[in-house]
Structure 1
Amino acid sequence: MAKVSISEAARLTGKSRTTLHRLIKTGELSTCAGARNSKMLDTSELIRVFGDISSPVHEQPFEQATEQRVTVPPAHNEQVVNSLKQEIEHLRTLVSAQESHIDSLKQSLHLLEHKKDVQQPLPPPVRWWQFWK
């Protein structure tokens, strides 16, 4: 028979992966080695333990889809859109506040640089022989 992964076996049997791992640990379900020593389950072992297993559900090709289903009511979508718009407006306010703070910091830096240029020049150094005059 075919070998399947634990996740595939969980899907085929309708059991959780945790249940399958527990059964493997207790020895009620045996495994075999797959590629790269991964745990694989033989489908005959699944049938022995769980009885008849379901065949995998095949999805319909894209061309065969004939109808669309709306899973979320339109009112919920409007609420989400409105909350996102409010969040965007809040973020824009924060960005403009940061930009104005950056501008004020730039002005302060410019004033400090200008003040540094305006300071009095240092007097010439006193030579040791001029000290006694």
Structure 2
Amino acid sequence: MAWHTVSQAQKLTQKSRRTLYRDMASGLVSYRTNGSGHRELETSELIRHYGDLSVDGTASRPTVAQPDGTQNEAVLLDEIRALRQEVAELKGMMLRLEHKPDPALSPVITKWWQRWQRPSK
């Protein structure tokens, strides 16, 4: 079943906030605490303790269904392809910018005191 915040449970049960917290404190209604520290009540617990829940809104289901796909699906797919191509080009540019010269081709740097040493034979 679904979990509801205290405000949502208040609307569903037509009970006051004070009544809900009192029932939670006395153990009549079980609840859980979400990641942000707020209490949540399960639908089955609300029905078990308070009976039928009130339903806001219309009693009938909508008769018009949404289409399966997006109307602009072709446009979106073309844009995704273009963005993927642009990302590939940018990756190539980054690799060219990060190119490092070959250390074998760079001049040999000797330390200042090595200039006066005799070459070993």
TM-score normalised to structure 1 length:
0.45
Q: When you count helix as a share of all residues, which structure comes out higher?
A: 1
**Which structure's CA Rg is the greater one?**
1
TM-score normalised to structure 2 length:
0.48
Specify which structure has the bigger relative contact order, considering alpha-carbon pairs within 8 angstroms and separated by 6 or more residues: 2
